[in-house]
Structures are given as C-alpha cells and as structure tokens.
Structure 1
Amino acid sequence: MIVPQEIAETVVDPKAYADGRIHEAYRWLRRNAPFAKIAPAGYDPFWIVTRQADIMAVEVQSDLFCNSQGLPAITSNEMRAQLGDRPGGFRTIVSMDGVEHQAYRRLTQGALMPKTLRILEGRIREIARVFIEKMAQTGGRCDFAQDVAFLYPLRVVMEVLGVSEKDEAFWLTLTQAGNTQNSKGTHAQMDDTARAEAMKQYLTGLNNYFVDIITDRRANPREDMATRIANGEIKGELIGNMEAMGYYIIFASAGHDTTSASTAGGMAALAGDPEQFRKLKDNPVLIPGYVEESIRWVAPVKHFARTVTADTEFNGQQLAKGERLMLCFASGTRDEDAFTDPDRFDIERSPNRHVGFGYGPHLCLGQHLAKLEMRIFWEELLPRLQNVELDGPVIHPETTSIAGPQSVPIKFVMS
C-alpha cells in the first residue's frame, strides 16, 4: 500500500514527536502499511518498520540488516552530507556488527551484569537520596525532569565511569547538546544544518574531554569503567583512541539519556494518574514492573537505522542491497498486536516484552544499570512521597532520536 506523503513527512518531523502526532502516524502505519517504503522530502527513500514482531525479526538478522554501513539513524540528505557516515571520526559499538561487535561488547559486558552491579547498589542508593532530598527542599514544587531526572542518572554514570563530580555541569551541557536540547526544557527551532552543527560541537567537546581521560587511565589505571575501556584489548592489542572515544561517548550519552528519559516519563505518568500512583505506593513490589512500563511507555530510543547487505525478501517485499530501514521502537512499544491497550500506562502490565531498549545482538548494553538506577530511585522516593500531581503541561522535545519528557512540572507532598 502506498503511504500518504503526509504520513511519510510526519515520521521524520521532530515536531511530531513533541506534540504527539507521531503516535497517530504510527497507528496508521501499523494498521495499513507496517512495512513500507517512504520518501519524505529531502530524504533518500527508506523502508519503515513499525510492528514489534518485524522490528525483532530485523534485529536478530544483523548479518542481513547491518549497523556498520551508514549513520545509526535515518537523517536527511543535508544532514548526512554535513556529518558524513562517521561523525567526528568515531567508531562506536552501535555501528559495529558480528564478531567485532561481540568483542567490543565483552570489554564491559561483565561489569554491567546484574550480579556484578550489586556492588554498586549502596553507592547508587546514596546518590538517589541526595537528589530526593534536593527535591524535598524545593518546597513542594519542581520541574522533575530538569531538577531530578536529568541529574540523578548523570551522577550515576559519572560515578561508574570514575570521573569527577565537579564536571557535572560540563557533562549535562554536552549530553543535552547531543540531543539539541537546551537547559530550560524547550527546543530552539533548528533546521538540519543547525542540528548537524550542534552534533559536531557535542562530539568535539566529548573528544577533547575524553582524550585526557584515556591518557590518564592508561598511565594510572583505577577500578572504574573509564580504565576498563581505555585499557580494553581486542586480540591482544589495545583498542585505538577513536574506538575508546566512541565507547565513552556511547556510555556517557546513551547511559544518561535513556535512563533520564524513562525516569521523567515514569513520573509524568504517575503524576497524571492518582490511581496508579496510589497502587504503586501501597505495593512497592510493583516497582520493577513500573520501571519496565516506564521504559515501554517512553521508548527513549525512538528509532535506529539498518542497511540491507544483500538483495532479499522481507514481509513479501523485495529489498535491494544498500537500502535503509528505519526501526521504529517508539511504534513497536505501542503495537496493538504485542500489547493489550498499548496507549494506557499500566504498572501491572504482564507480560511486558517491549523493545524499549532494543532487541537481539544490539540489546542495550547498559539496560541492567538503567533498570537498577530506576528501581533504587523509586524505592527511596515512594516511602517519602505522600502525594504528587502535574503542575503544568508536560513538554516533549523535538527530536526523532533519544528523548523523553523535557519538562515535567509537579507539585507534591513529601515527608
């Protein structure tokens, strides 16, 4: 079926992700053209994948639908021309496939498994309490996204990496620059040229920062993730500086953005639904399920792209080598075929097998850390939080990549 051009344009329109129109477009696509080729103005034609089952089927065939050819996201021709296929010259784990990808994952995978992460639980709990106390001192009103959800995961990521707390403001500026967001919870109106320039500045800033980290950790190794990455070896040789840099960038940006997005979105959902809030407060055993539902609901990674490596057939369609696919995780997590009443936030949803953190070989490497952070935060906050409600509109950023609510104004009562 031919996709109406209006739908095609909506899929790549950052404003549609901010005002919610994207979900209407995704519903139409899942119902009428779940796997279809579209050609928005200013873009080369690409295939759009909107049903969860199809997304999963593509994800597990990384030899046929690869990450290593082209940018990890669908971008306009103008933006791609400015960024190139490898922005900043970095090679990240997101843009690797097969044996190479597995080797780079193994450098940190062991340190990010639940059993290993238990040793960090006490310190993460201390950090959560710091930000909960700051929340309590606001006098019963705050912007939860700006004042808490952006800062708490950032501090945890910095702790795990082993970088100084004094660099927090610098890190927050850089992670927000990566999403072309500003610190006031709104987006400046950006065209593709401005977005590309913001991305370049972001990558340059991280590059300058991490060069010193790599040099220091190779000369003075410590018990932290920065040391593990800087001294990582593949086939008996140290990884290159650009590969180490790419690893740091993914760990710092994705590790912060996905968790902050899901935490902010989870609070927005609770503050807007007194029944769900009371149910969760009265039944702390539901917190892990609430965390999963927050990730499904927000779908912090809106999409990733894949490249077809050989002529093939998928879902009855003929695909040519070199064609691009847009895996719409934000659609898959709202798929009617995968979830009952998918547009309802339900902390008791079970089963909840979502693709909010991806699927297959590229399943988010830091998913266990993200879920641990969120679980600990709510375990610490809920006993003190007596009541919470929205205190203004929830603002979503204009971006097609990684994001959650940018502003979540709330009023609350805490003990």
Structure 2
Amino acid sequence: MQTKEYVLLLGADQYLRERAFSGAKQAVDLPVWAATEDSVRKLNRTFDNMLSADPKDSDSLLRAIHAQSAQGWHPRMVIPLNDWTVDSANTVNRVLGLGGLDATTVTNARNKYAMKQAFLAAGVQAPDSRLVQSEQELLDAIESVGLPVVIKPYDFGGSGGVVLATTREEAVAGLAESKAVIAQYGSSFNILGDKYLVEQFIDSDDEVSVEVLCGAGRAQVLAVTEKYLSPRPWFAEVAHLVPSHRTGDPVLTDLAVRACTALGIDRGLAHVEIKFDADGTAWVIEVAARPGGDGIMDQVERAYSLNPYRLHVGSYLGSDLLDVAAGAVPTRTSAIAFLKAAPGRIEDILDGKPLPPEVRSINISAKRGDISQAAKNWSTREGLVELEWDELFSEKTQLPVTMANELSDQIFVSGETVGK
C-alpha cells in the first residue's frame, strides 16, 4: 500500500484560529487534517480531513491515527495550537517517533509553578510564587510572598480563576472563586486544577505579549502585542493591538527569548506575557508553548502581511525560519477588542447601524436574555470587533478599548441586574 502523509493540527478548528489552515498550506504541500470528538456531527469542511478523536487526549488521537494508518495515511507531524493540546500533541509525536517538544518542556509550559522554578534557575525575572491547595497553605504563602497577591490555577489559561487579593480575607475569597472556576470548566479543558499559584503582584497595567519563533538553542521575536486588561480585581484581556509601541525594544526582546530558552522550547511559536512595573522593570508573567490566542495571530498577519502559522507549522516540520521572522516588518496597526454589555440581563441587541471605517470585522456572540457579568475572563465576553489603522503608533493608544466600549453601548441594551 502506498504511504500517504498529512499534517495534523490540534486546535485549528477553534474560533479565531482558522487561519492556521492557510498557514499550514503555505508551509508544506500536504493535506492538512484536524481532530474533533465527533467528526460526523462536527465536520469542519475547511480541512482536508478530520479525525474523530478528542484533540486533548493522546490515547484517543492514537486510536484514530492507527485506524487511518490501515488505509495508508500517516502523520508527518502533530502540531498543537492551544494550551490544551500541547501535551497530547507531543505525547503522540513521541510515541510515533516524529519528534516534538521534550516532555520536561511540556511540563514547564503547562505547570506554572514548574515554569517559575525554571525561570528562577535561569535568572529570568519573574514574580515570586508559591504552590498551594488549602486555605491554610494560602495564608502561609501570603506571609512569605506578602500582600497584595495574585491567585490563579497552576494549569489553566484564558485568565480563568485569576484574582487579585489585597487582604487576607480577599485572598481566602479569591481562592474559593478560583476553585469554583475550575469546578465549572476543569473537565471541559482536561486539566487537574488541583493546585493554585499564589504570586507576587506586579502593580501595573502595562503589559505586552511577545510572539517568539523558537529553534534549537536560539529564538527570534516576531511581534510584540499591546495588551489591555479589565478593571481589578480580575485580569481579563479586553483587547490586543499589533504592533506594540515597544516593538524592537532590545531589553524586552532579550527577556522574551531567554524565557523561551529557559523552558527548553525549541520549535514553533511561543507566547510570552511580560509586565512592566512602575520603574520600567520587565517581569515575565508566563510563557505558552503555542501561538498566541484571542485572534492575536490574525492581527499579526494583517500588520505584517505574514501568516505566523506558516512559521509555527514550518518550524515543527524542521524548517529554519528564524530569518523570515527577523525580517518581518509591520506596515499598519491591527487590533482585536472584546465587546462588553453593561451588567444585567441583555434586553435587546441593536445591530445594523453604520460602523466606523476602522472596523475590519464585528461578531456578536450574545443573545437577547443573556446575563452580562463583569469582565472576569474569556467567558464573560459578548462579542468582538477587529480594527485597523494605516499607521504605527509611537505610544500606547486606548483606541481599541474606547471604540469597543462605544460600540458595546450602541449595540447592547441591558436591563435588570442579576447576581454579581
């Protein structure tokens, strides 16, 4: 039987990651497949084929892959695109002898406490943190770290369960809130959620993410994204803008590269989150061994006229594309911001009015009757808007947040307040 190869992308069918298919096609002349638990009921026709498998579960993936092998189809590489598939993709790659990330690297990228220990060992500046399970361990950690602190699940993402506490009482309530988020979402994302990080708070809203293309022993920054956060005590990401005015900052670039090297990431794109304190000192908050989410890759593509997924897939397949990343230059500014209705029950949605010329796309996910809550994490959004400007900003602009708020006020009519 003739051997036929394909590239398997995990998480590519997720909303705002659709451009991964195009990037993969640019990177390699092979069929591009995806995986979903029920490909009959959830068929995505973008892809050349879909495996019926849970993309978060390596055993499920291996069963589906072996079934296709009987038909002569073999994956050249399994490539993760989100946090929930980093472990499963690389487990499958190792089992099949395809390569992929080292097992320790995967652990360091998914376990935020192990990540901070790797940063500490490598001299990468990161907030002091402690790993806790119980309320008493939380209070003991506060004695060591000092208030205020940030409490977060050690293996989750999307700002889920991330809370700021300025007092011991707020910390106890914050841990309870974080545990409640894990109880609600943990099984859906196939995470343990049994431990929590108590972390030194970097008192700043000045934050960026750095998209880094990694190679063996070296790495190259592709883009710097300006991040916008919700009001405290939560840390929901409410907008992203590419390129940040900090693009090209050598101190920032060096720190991002050293953070990826400290974790042993030697292929693909990594997403590095960095904060600047009042003195301008840069702190690495965390690193993900996958491309940035929330549509950031789409904004990079528009600003740089380069599909970053091409680099991610090509790197996993063994191509050295660091020079391509180094040569990328932004020619415009692109942003994504999330729509937020006023707290309460959404009584009406007034869509259809003329939109500002900067709007590239808009998507309203909320429905009449939905309850709008405070912006805590990814789950409390009512939609999104993508924006574009034919200029590069030399300082931080609030335009993405301002325009998203104005559109939200125009679109959503909220009534009675329900709950908190």
Q: Same fold (TM over 0.5)?
A: no
Higher relative contact order (CA 8 A, sep 6+): 1
TM score, norm. by length of structure 1: 0.26
Normalised by the length of structure 2, the TM-score is 0.26
Greater percentage in strand? 2
